[in-house]
Amino acid sequence: MKKRTILLIGVPALLFFACSKKDSTDTTTTTTTTDTTTTTTDCSSAANSPAKVVCLAEAFEALLTSSQLATLQVDYTQTNAVKWSNLPCGATCRNGLQMSNLTTAQVTAALAIVAAASGTVTDEGYSEIQQIMAADDVLKAASGGTSYSSGIYFIAFLGTPSTTGTWQLQFGGHHLAVNITYKAGEVAGATPRFEGIEPKSWVTSGTTYAPLAGEQSAMAAMLASLSSSELASAKLSATFSDVLLGPNEDGQFPATKQGLAVSSLTSAQQLLVLAAMKPWVEDVDDSTAATLLATYKDELSTTYIAYSGNATLATNADYVRIDGPSVWIEFVCQTGVVYPSQIHYHSIWRDHKRDYGNSFTF
């Protein structure tokens, strides 16, 4: 099933922040909405880079009240850095400002930051974030409750956004946790990053949407390339009901790598391992993704793959893992919560060396 970029249901449809200049001398744009009139800074000259993220962060801050600023920006500490979740637990488990409490202009500016920090590959990066948020509105309609909504997503700055210091961008809600650490104007860490989806696919106006379908199919293709003996070597004895290194499991990487050594695979199989990493890594901005993928490729000879359950990754407790010197990716199938007759997905991308920009000791 093909997934497509869609506008979020239940939040203002102004998802893309206008950053293009009117002309070479006009550096500001006045935007009028039904709830506020603001002057927003033009950040187009910064390209899609950490500098643009900082520019847009400062433009967003300019739209906020002093009370909102105090909620948005918190200290860059380990306690705050690890405060994220995949659960629909709102502000009790997250830092920052909730989308549904912002004006239309503020939402537009906040999401522009997230878009600039994200990849541009079709159906990954910001496109996938939009779809994960939209799925929460599908859950809201199906459950009839108030736990799920694209409006119950939060943005926070840990530390002061700048191109010289250290700070962390957090954005997330149910089934999404984006944690990107910047140091001296560069991405020092794009992880931990949690992504999940329920329902795993749905149809709106005749179009099927399926966030994480690319992740599932890439992992399944990697496993499908293995011979029966290789599958036996890769199979774990444990059963997994969820990812091992989700929220509150920071620094808990297994001491010993398990499964099948990628070094034992053919060149074609090794390329499938790298391809299985891409849907996660390409969620971060394109330049950072390219750098990380090059690193992960260089480390393939000391990377391992493992799975549990079925290699087709289609039923409850089917699980797969890629574990390298740097990269750590898990993907697991679970029985649905709102849709108990269906499977839904959880996944986590971590980095042994770069979680939280390697700022903390766990």
Q: What's the pLDDT score for residue 205?
A: 86
Q: What's the pLDDT score for residue 127?
A: 96
- Three-state SS string over 113-172 comes to HHHHCECCCCCCHHHHHHHHHHHHHHHHHHHCCCCCCCCCCEEEEECCCCCCCEEEEEEE
Q: CB–CB of 263/300 below 8 Å?
A: yes
Q: What's the pLDDT score for residue 44?
A: 79
Q: What's the pLDDT score for residue 49?
A: 87
Q: What's the pLDDT score for residue 41?
A: 66
Q: Calculate the CA dihedral of residues 83, 84, 85, 88 and round it to 10 degrees.
A: 100
Q: What's the pLDDT score for residue 4?
A: 46
Q: What's the pLDDT score for residue 24?
A: 31
Give the Å distances, CA to CA, from 302 to 27, 226, 262, 329.
49, 18, 7, 15
Q: How many CB atoms neighbour CB 294 within 10 A?
A: 10
Question: Domain ranges in the chain?
Answer: 28-202, 207-358
Whether the ω angle into residue 211 lies within 30 degrees of 0, i.e. cis, is no
Whether the ω angle into residue 192 lies within 30 degrees of 0, i.e. cis, is yes
Q: How many CB atoms neighbour CB 13 within 10 A?
A: 11
Contacting residues for 50 by C-beta, under 8 A, at least 6 apart: 163, 182, 185, 186, 187, 285
Model confidence, pTM: 0.89
DSSP letter (8 states) at residue 284: B
Task: Render each residue's pLDDT in the chain as its tens digit; 362 residues.
Answer: 444 444 443 444 333 333 332 233 333 333 333 333 334 468 876 666 899 999 999 999 999 999 999 999 999 999 999 999 999 999 999 999 999 999 999 999 999 999 999 999 999 999 999 999 999 999 999 999 899 999 999 999 999 999 999 999 999 999 999 999 999 999 999 999 999 999 999 998 888 999 999 999 999 999 999 999 999 999 999 999 999 999 999 999 999 999 999 999 999 999 999 999 999 999 999 999 999 999 999 999 999 999 999 999 999 999 999 999 999 999 999 999 999 999 999 999 999 999 999 999 99
Q: What's the pLDDT score for residue 38?
A: 37
Tell me, what amino acid is at 182?
Y
